[in-house]
């Protein structure tokens, strides 16, 4: 099965980011494809390389980057939501890219299921 994910909450402030990453990891481990993760609203904070959690805490941004590197998951950040929050290309973590809502529509068309995490 081919999945697209929509993440609309930021890391460390809501469970949605962790749950989405756990879902994506489990789906991939079970042999499914996660074709794209679209970060929207406060979810765009998952993409910034400026995130520096304490050493004994999980690094959610690095987890997403690793999914891109190891499994080719397309990590797309909504341009309008990102710019409203001061996130530009130069602060993106590896594997993330900024694009428009058309990427969410495209994912919804191409995926078998679109799963939303957050409000």
Contact 93, 48 (CB under 8 A): yes
Please give the span between the terminal C-alpha atoms of the chain, in angstroms, as a whole number: 24
Which of 37, 78, 81, 98 is flagged as catalytic? Answer: 78
| Cα 115 to Cα 35, 58, 72, 111, 119, distances in angstroms | 12, 23, 18, 10, 12
Q: Compute the distance between CA of residue 89 and CA of residue 19 in angstroms, rounded to an integer.
A: 26
Q: What is the DSSP letter of 111?
A: S
Is 112 a known active-site residue? no
Provide the annotated active-site residues. Answer: 78
């Amino acid at each position: 099965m081919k999945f697209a994910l929509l993440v609309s909450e930021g890391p460390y402030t809501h469970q949605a980011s962790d749950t989405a990453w756990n879902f994506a990891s489990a789906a991939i481990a079970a042999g499914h494809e996660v074709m794209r993760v679209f970060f929207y609203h406060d979810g765009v904070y998952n993409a910034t390389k400026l995130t520096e959690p304490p050493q004994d805490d999980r690094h959610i941004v690095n987890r997403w980057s690793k999914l891109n590197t190891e499994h080719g998951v397309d990590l797309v950040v909504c341009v309008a939501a990102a710019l409203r929050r001061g996130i530009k290309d130069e602060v993106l973590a590896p594997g993330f890219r900024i694009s428009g809502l058309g990427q969410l529509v495209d994912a919804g068309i191409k995926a078998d299921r679109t799963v939303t995490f957050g409000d």
